[in-house]
Structure formats: C-alpha cells, structure tokens
Amino acid sequence: MTRKRFHIHNVRGIFRAKDGVSAVEFALIAPLMLLMYAGCIELSLMMQLDRKVTTSTATLGDLTARATEITNDDLDDIFEATRMIFQPNDITAARMRVTSVREDDGDAVVDWSDACNMPEYTVDQVLTVPANIILEDGSVILAEIEYDYESKIGGLFTTKQTLTDRFYLRPRRVDLVSRNETSPFTCNHNAP
C-alpha cells in the first residue's frame, strides 16, 4: 500500500480549484437573501396596513364633518363605511374614536365623543390640539384610529407595532356638528 505524501503542490491546488465555488457562495448568501426577502414582504404588508389606517381615519373624520347633526344611526353608518375601507383586515381589532372639539375661551374642549374599543373623551374635557387648528368660536372633528399590527410571517418577525393616525377636520356646513343622542352609542364592531 502506498501512501500519498502531502506536498505543498496539493495546497496550491486547493486554492486554484474552481469547482464548486458557486455552490459554496450560494450556500453562504442564500440565508441572508431569504431573510431580506421575508423582511421586504413584512415591510410591504405593514406599509399597506398603515395606509389603510390613514385612509380609514380620514374617512371617519370626513364623513362626520359633512354632517350637521350626528345620530346613533349615522355613527353606525360612518363606522361601517370605515370598516369597508379597512377590509380585508379585521376592523374589530381596531380602536376608533370620533370627537367634536370646540373652542372655548382659548381652550380646545370636547363637545361630544364616541368610540369603538377605546375610551371616549368626557364632555368639557380640555384637549391639546395643534395651534390655530380651531377658529375662534369654531370647532373641529377629531378622528383617531389605532391598530396593533402583528407579523403575518410568524417566527421570523415577532414584534408588534401599533399603527395610529389622527385627523382634524373642520365641519363643512355648520360651525359645530351637534350630537343627537337619544341613547348611549354602542359600537357594533366591538372586539370579541
């Protein structure tokens, strides 16, 4: 039996060999590329949902600001329209609030507030709003939506992110949208 002797020529041959280089490079890069691909998908899903939160919040405020008076039936319709925009995502997981805020001696004071899955503001509660958003003796409709985003991919990304948006809209046809509340408002889209 003959033994092969180790020669320096054998080591040089290893470095000169080109067979299998592509396979080794692919094996090193593939996990990183797959992780980047999954991250791009996750980011696009979250951005899409964030856009829906923004659009839904704008709709919630806009539909309320178009009215002269809001009833419980009107609020049901407004929250239903918001739910339709939010599809195919589950609106029951969203927290929504619509509030009429009026100017009172330089303060922004709550005139009325109704919400789904989050607390309402109390009447006459003072809120902090951006400067010059409410005209003297005027009002604005404040629409707010919060949604907890959870990764659809699962094991790779486990961080929860709360997507929120807030819109201030001036009433279209009156100085103050009044609230005709014959009974307390009950949200038909409460979380289970």
- Write the pLDDT tens digit of every residue in 123-140: 999 999 998 888 888 899
E strand residue ranges, the chain: 69-70, 94-104, 107-116, 126-127, 139-149, 161-169, 178-179
Choose the weakest-confidence range: 106-110, 132-136, 151-155.
Answer: 151-155
**pLDDT exceeding 90 applies to what percent of the chain?**
39
Of residues 159 and 39, more confidence is placed in 39
- Look at residue 154 in the predicted model and tell me its pLDDT: 62
Sign of the torsion formed by the C-alpha atoms of 181, 182, 188 and 192:
positive
pLDDT tops 90 at residue 19: no
- Look at residue 192 in the predicted model and tell me its pLDDT: 42
- 20 — alpha (psi -120 to 50), left (phi > 0) or beta? left
CA distance 150 to 46: 9
Q: Alpha carbon of 37 to those of 16, 25, 28, 32: distances in Å? A: 34, 18, 15, 9
Would you state the structure tokens that stand for residue 156, as one six-digit string? 């790779």
Q: Which residue has the tokens 């009974």?
A: 183
Q: Alpha carbon of 24 to those of 21, 30, 37, 163, 182: distances in Å? A: 5, 10, 20, 42, 73
pTM: 0.78
Number of neighbours of residue 52 by Cβ within 10 angstroms: 21
What digits encode the pLDDT tens for the residues 60-92?
Answer: 999 999 999 999 999 989 988 888 888 887 777
Pairing of strands 178-179, 69-70: parallel
